[in-house]
A and B are shown apart, each in its own frame.
Chain A
Amino acid sequence: MRRRLRPVWRRLLNMDYRAFAGGVFIALLTGCPDRQTISYHKDVYPILETNCLECHKPPDGEGYLKTHLSMEAYQSLMKGTLYGPVIVPGDSRKSIFNMLVEGRADASLRMPHLRNKRLTAQEIRILRLWVVQGARDN
């Protein structure tokens, strides 16, 4: 029994090493894109500034007047709307902010409203990753 188990264990061990090495190699090749750290100031704010700030800016932005959501600063974004926060740090699925830009609510609520503009897939991904990574003021 012992004699038979040892070679099997060794074979498995060797296989694990190979699988691990292969995984590392593939990760290095692809650059682990979803592991990049998203910066609020470098990555997120420029997207908000271009696409959202025209409406979500106090005192008379249309979106601000309707919901009181200001995207002028990190603190006001995290404060959310009249009805409460729109971002759940670490959980983009349950964040209303991501829900509305990704079109997971009624089509009439999809953001941004402005000139029927849509965020690109890359912009949506950046916003999602930022929330998943904790929606930090970094």
Chain B
Amino acid sequence: MFAARNTGIAGTAAKTGCFLCLLLVLFSFAPAGASNLSKIEISENSGNYRVRMVMLIHAPARYVNSVLTDYKHIYRLNPAITESDILPSPHSGAVRVRTRMEGCIFFFCRNVDRLEEVREVNTGHLQAVIIPEQSDFTSGSADWRIQPVGDDSEIVYEAQVTPAFFIPPIIGSYFVKRTFAEAVITSFARLECIALIKAGLDTRSRQYLADATFGATDIDTMQAAMLAGEDPSAHSRPTGAGYKIRDTGCDGGCDQSGGGC
């Protein structure tokens, strides 16, 4: 193990660095945002770390859910992820997601491997359990609940992990929480940004289809007309009148380091 290779002052410094690296990546699958963060609780007991967060994300729930379950592209959510893979699970309805994350504090870096079995319990409810044999954790689990709040989403995220490597027992809790918060803010901002881009793309493609099928028709009006059993083409509007597309502000993509639009 890493801890066994370091001794003396240099070893202690390296261990401290590793601990901080860990905190950067430990709950990195969990998005959170300073301006949207309703509640965050982090605690530690005998090497077991628990986190509970309640967040409001300014993107529709179905797109937030689709980004979170797009396991192939999980690396988009966190810049600390340097490797990822999808593996088959022996249990039906579940997938195994392997990630390797790299975290550095000053000159101290380390990789943290994690293999999780992820299951979508139902729409908007995800559960993940760490497979300890192939992870740098002796145990761990996470639970996501995504609820629509108008055009936005509320996420309740709860997780607990027990790292399998050495962590120094004494560290300033203020510094730890600050470091941790910065890391999760990035992930959260990315989740929101990607969800907004996907929502924008989807709206554009649906509008394109509506235009091609019924002439230049406002998509919302067209849907309402169809539901009411009316002819959607009766609600045509002049071409180029502009689509009712939510302004995502994400046309330039998500920021690589900060994560936001």
Instruction: Give Cα A108 to B87, complex, Å.
Output: 12
Least Cβ–Cβ distance between A1 and chain B, in angstroms: 25
Range class of the B interface residue count: 20 to 34
Is B246 engaged at the interface, CB distance under 8 Å to the other chain?
A: no
Is A88 engaged at the interface, CB distance under 8 Å to the other chain?
A: yes
Q: Are A85 and B201 in contact (CB under 8 A)?
A: no
Q: Are B83 and A84 in contact (CB under 8 A)?
A: no
Instruction: Give Cα A82 to B197, complex, Å.
Output: 8
Is B220 engaged at the interface, CB distance under 8 Å to the other chain?
A: no
Consensus secondary structure, chain B interface: mixed
Contact residue among B80, B83, B256 (Cβ-Cβ distance under 8 Å from A85):
B256
Q: Are B84 and A83 in contact (CB under 8 A)?
A: no
Q: Which of B39-76 contact A (CB under 8 A)?
A: 71-73, 75-76
* Chain A hits for B73, CB < 8 A: 105, 109
Is B86 engaged at the interface, CB distance under 8 Å to the other chain?
A: yes
Least Cβ–Cβ distance between B109 and chain A, in angstroms: 10
Q: Are B254 and A84 in contact (CB under 8 A)?
A: yes
Among A14-22, A25-33, A93-101, the one that faces the other chain is A93-101
Q: Are A99 and B254 in contact (CB under 8 A)?
A: no
Is A81 engaged at the interface, CB distance under 8 Å to the other chain?
A: yes
B residues touching A (Cβ–Cβ < 8 Å)?
A: 71-73, 75-76, 79-80, 82-86, 102, 193-194, 197, 201, 252-257
Taking A83-B253, A105-B85, A106-B84 as known contacts, 19 extra A-B pairs with beta carbons closer than 8 A to each other, sorted by chain A number, are A80-B256, A81-B253, A82-B201, A83-B76, A83-B197, A84-B193, A84-B252, A84-B254, A84-B256, A85-B256, A88-B256, A94-B80, A94-B82, A96-B75, A99-B82, A104-B83, A104-B84, A105-B75, A109-B72
